[in-house]
Structure 1
Amino acid sequence: MNSKKTSLLAAGLGATLACSVVSAEQAEQSSGPFKWGADLRLRQVWIDNVGLNADSATADRNFERYRGRLWGSYSPDDQLEASARLIWEGRHYQDPAASSWPVAGFETWYSGGLFFDQLKVDFKQIGGSPLSLRLGRQDIVLGNGWLVLEGTPIDGSRTIYFDAARATYNLESLGTTLDLIYLDQSANTGRFPQPLNGTVEDQIEQYETGVILYGRNKSLIEGTDLDGYFIYKHNRPNLTPGNIRVNNGAPFPSPSDSGDIYAAGMRADSKLTSSWALRAETVYEWGTRNDRDLSAFGFNSRLTYSFNDALKNQLHADFEYLSGDDPDSAGDQAFDPLWGRWPQWSELMVYQWPLESRVGEATNLQRFNVGWISQVHPTTQLLVDYHALWADEQSTRTAAQMVNLSGDGNFRGHLFAAWLKSKFSQHVSGHLVAEYLLPGDYYADNRQSDSFFVRAEVVLTW
């Protein structure tokens, strides 16, 4: 064990705990325009057979994550607020060994990045008008986060921020809001506000700019939210030698994107009756990606039945379709998840997508899901899901990845998942999650090892 890295990791965790205690005291004692808060997230993660190959030296992962955040805001009146959030996350990898990692530089003891993942100013209802502005580093979630939630997919839920300007116009009399958002994402943490520990890490494979026009209406159809949107995304490659990215102490290859993507979509979320609810979202994408003409389509839906009983039992059925790239076409039909590269329905699949695309980059998919949710205890919710997964086409992102596919079938496999989510008090929450994947004939013979994911988490909040 490297004593210097261990000392840094311990110091970071100790400072996080100390800041959390201080912020808790300040939150209780503060008044007026100042607000403070903090949280500490502790995770233990076990993953079996990353890459679906049990013979790989890096197939099994066992590691801890320690993430602390300290935030504060100043609001001199109802129309102006400035806020910031400081984050630190360290890791310790028990498996794999550094000597087994395919790229030099893997840190089994990672001392953590220390930087601001929020630094923004809010101008609310400017001059008494329906217009509000938010400028700076901020979190943005649109709809269910299907296409817009994750601005920094490489760092694995450490952050999700966007560097953005967001204007919101609230037409209250019409039950409608309009958002116009400009995004400017750096491929790494090197821009202002730079990391306080001086270490620059990759956050995305490419530099990204974009514009989103998003409208939401709650009045046209009773009990229904209707959304419509237009998205533009420009990708400029970050050309590092061998496409090597480094984050969380782990160097790994991942190719950049280039080109211009346009997307137009609609979303509806409706309470049909006291027991039935339906939500559906569809989008068409066009433009250019990596010097090929893009034409892709996506659809995502969920039907929910609520028993309205003491345990709040619910059953749901999902269907999701993400077009795949037709290998016989000169164009590109592979769906691009835009800023939706996060574990929307599976923690385990985030680690398997690089067999054919990139981390968390879901595409080329047909997914059918049935699940059950129940409030099994006043503090605890149980979720159980089964997903049947298919590929839309026999294709991959790069020619080198084709060796991972069988060429004989389109069934990705059976995925089983269960969650226990608990909120014990205002200050303590946590969860246990387990997933198991039985791969299908879509994958090559040496990529059909069963795989599982298990995570335990505790969050302390002040």
Structure 2
Amino acid sequence: MNIVWTQYEQKGNGMKRKELLLHGVALLIALVMFVESAPAETTFDYGMNVRARHELWDNMFSLGTRQTTNTNYDRSFFRLALFPWAKVEFDKNVTLYGRMVYEPQYSVGPYKYAPDFERFMDDDIAFDNLYIEWRKAFGLPVDFKIGRQDFLGKETYGDRFLIFDGTPNDGARTNYHNAARARIHFDEKNSLDLLYINNPAYDHVLTLVHARVSRQLNPSNEQGAVAYGRFKPFEQVDLEPYYMYKHEDQIIGQTTPELDLHTIGMRAVLTLGNSKLRGEFAHQFGEYATGRKREGNGGFVIVSHRFAEVALKPEIELGYVYLSGDKNPTSTTAKMTAWNPLFQRAPFFNAEVIAWPLAYEQAKNGGVGYWTNMSNIMVRSRFTFSEQTNLFLQYWHMRANQLSQGLPTWLFSNNSKERGNLVTGQLNHEFSKKLDGFIQAEYFMPGDFYVQNAKNSLFIRTQLTYKF
């Protein structure tokens, strides 16, 4: 079984890269000169975010069953990410924004970075965001946003069920999508997004420095088109119907052919005071290049209540998540019935530790973060100690909907649907308006879905972020 964690491509055309870098520098100089001579309503802002992390991964890849290869070794490493950014406001409706990323890493061990098996891994310098946004274009109730962009904050789609991370193979380094979006405003509470996405497996355009190596960002070249509505028919009700089309090229390192997939679904939220009921359901259908059909279903329902008048203002959530599994996982002709997570391959509902055994399970479909074949009950809570400090806790009981077949017997039992239990916690604190951090811990106790000698796995992340 060939699993691609992070591939590197050697680049021989150094002159082309140097030309790109020179063009980028020239563009920046021209931009600054333009701002200097621009009308008074044009403003220029810039800064940098610095993110320092330490991560500990214990038994995360093979659940301790095969620690004989570098890929499966436990990991303890430091990551320092620099995010310099600049923004130009040409007027109140037009914004040009750019942000770059540089994140070298140092491994304490025992894992060492491929392909040279060293403790220090340098990083390329790439554009993490580069877009232009035009609000109320042509005087119409339409906003355009074109370029490399994140779907975070006010740009988030629902609960990040199908659209969030466009670069899953580089971990938490980036989340961007190469996209063009038109947002049509019917009024203040109702809108429709029309979205085009193009996420290549490798970034050969906006990587400027250290481009001799190029990170693999996706399991294949991907394209998509989305229509996503946000409607509020009543004060307490939000409805978000959507249609999504996705094309996937052949998975790199696998024989899985090209896929065209359609997804129709809706997210709904009912708010009653401090209580909420929210849910989402989607149906998928499509076809591989070989003619093999594919269908799947996925969704969740979550009920929550915030005890605003009680000490620590606890918020409690109870939820259920369903992602269909493949009834014929060893067949190449029978209908494929597994859920496809589309453009969401980040830690599912904030669960990092289980993403890596999933890479072995779903290698032929894309590996890391391919959330599918799950039936999970979850309990989540949040406690607010102060305006600066809060604690998030979570418990999952996890099952598969279909038995696995033909998976490596050193990790999977292939005779049980009991995935196991997961406990997570995250303590967040804001030291000042510029400095914040958190400590995150996750502990997974594997069930009989895995082999008997599978060990519990642990993930710990400590992070500090400073905004200049």
Query: Which one of 222, 228, 242 corresponds to residue 208 of structure 1?
Result: 222
**Aligned pair in 2 of structure 1 residues 255, 151: CA closer, same or farther (>3 Å)?**
farther
Residue type matched to 2:415 in 1?
A: D
**Aligned pair in 2 of structure 1 residues 212, 153: CA closer, same or farther (>3 Å)?**
same
Aligned residue number for residue 337 of structure 2:
333
Is contact 1:379-1:422 (8 Å) kept?
yes
Query: Which one of 54, 60, 71 corresponds to residue 44 of structure 1?
Result: 54
Equivalent residue runs for 1:94-109 within 5 Å: 94-98=108-112, 104-109=115-120
Aligned residue number for residue 274 of structure 2:
275
Task: Give the structure-2-normalised TM-score.
Answer: 0.83
Aligned residue number for residue 163 of structure 2:
148
Q: Distance in 1 between matches of 2:273 and 2:158?
A: 22
Q: CA deviation at 1:238?
A: 5.9
2:34 paired with 1:33? no
**Aligned pair in 2 of structure 1 residues 130, 405: CA closer, same or farther (>3 Å)?**
same
Residue type matched to 1:320 in 2?
A: V
Residue type matched to 1:165 in 2?
A: A
Q: Cα deviations across residues 54-94 of structure 1 (Å, max 9, x unaligned)?
A: 55133411111111101111122122211110111111112
Q: Distance in 2 between matches of 1:255 and 1:320?
A: 30
2:463 paired with 1:460? no
2:424 paired with 1:413? no
Aligned residue number for residue 432 of structure 2:
425
Q: CA deviation at 1:104?
A: 4.6
Residue type matched to 2:164 in 1?
A: L
Q: CA deviation at 1:196?
A: 2.1
Residue type matched to 2:162 in 1?
A: L
Q: CA deviation at 1:113?
A: 2.0
2:194 paired with 1:180? yes
Instruction: State the secondary structure of the residue aligned to 2:432.
Output: coil
Q: Distance in 1 between matches of 2:410 and 2:288?
A: 23
Q: Distance in 2 between matches of 1:95 and 1:435?
A: 20
Task: Work out the percentage of aligned pairs sharing the same amino acid.
Answer: 29
Q: Distance in 2 between matches of 1:270 and 1:177?
A: 18
Aligned residue number for residue 139 of structure 2:
128
Q: Cα deviations across residues 266-313 of structure 1 (Å, max 9, x unaligned)?
A: 001221x22311110110011024743111000112110111124221
Q: Distance in 2 between matches of 1:443 and 1:238?
A: 25
Aligned residue number for residue 450 of structure 2:
443
**Aligned pair in 2 of structure 1 residues 455, 256: CA closer, same or farther (>3 Å)?**
farther
Q: Cα deviations across residues 308-356 of structure 1 (Å, max 9, x unaligned)?
A: 1242211111110000000287111110101110013311112221131
Equivalent residue runs for 1:51-450 within 5 Å: 51-57=62-68, 58-98=72-112, 104-140=115-151, 141-172=156-187, 175-190=189-204, 192-198=205-211, 199-218=213-232, 220-237=233-250, 239=252, 243=253, 258-271=258-271, 273-289=272-288, 291=290, 292-309=292-309, 310-327=311-328, 330-345=334-349, 346-357=351-362, 358-395=367-404, 399-401=406-408, 404-446=411-453, 448-450=454-456
Is contact 1:296-1:323 (8 Å) kept?
yes
Instruction: State the secondary structure of the residue aligned to 2:125.
Output: strand
Q: Cα deviations across residues 188-247 of structure 1 (Å, max 9, x unaligned)?
A: 011x223322232210011111100011012x12222210000000011264xxx2xxxx
Structure 2 portions without partners, runs of 5+: 1-39
Is contact 1:364-1:393 (8 Å) kept?
yes
Aligned residue number for residue 17 of structure 1:
none
**Aligned pair in 2 of structure 1 residues 97, 311: CA closer, same or farther (>3 Å)?**
closer
Q: Distance in 2 between matches of 1:304 and 1:257?
A: 41
Q: CA deviation at 1:395?
A: 2.5
Count of aligned positions: 410
Q: Cα deviations across residues 3-38 of structure 1 (Å, max 9, x unaligned)?
A: xxxxxxxxxxxxxxxxxxxxxxxxxxx995112132
Q: Distance in 2 between matches of 1:31 and 1:257?
A: 52
**Aligned pair in 2 of structure 1 residues 350, 114: CA closer, same or farther (>3 Å)?**
same
Instruction: State the secondary structure of the residue aligned to 1:296.
Output: strand
Instruction: State the secondary structure of the residue aligned to 1:89.
Output: coil
**Aligned pair in 2 of structure 1 residues 150, 402: CA closer, same or farther (>3 Å)?**
farther
**Aligned pair in 2 of structure 1 residues 55, 405: CA closer, same or farther (>3 Å)?**
closer
**Aligned pair in 2 of structure 1 residues 259, 54: CA closer, same or farther (>3 Å)?**
closer
Is contact 1:52-1:59 (8 Å) kept?
no
Q: Cα deviations across residues 416-459 of structure 1 (Å, max 9, x unaligned)?
A: 1111011121101111111111110111234x211111111111
Structure 1 portions without partners, runs of 5+: 1-29, 244-253
Residue type matched to 2:194 in 1?
A: L
Instruction: State the secondary structure of the residue aligned to 1:237.
Output: coil
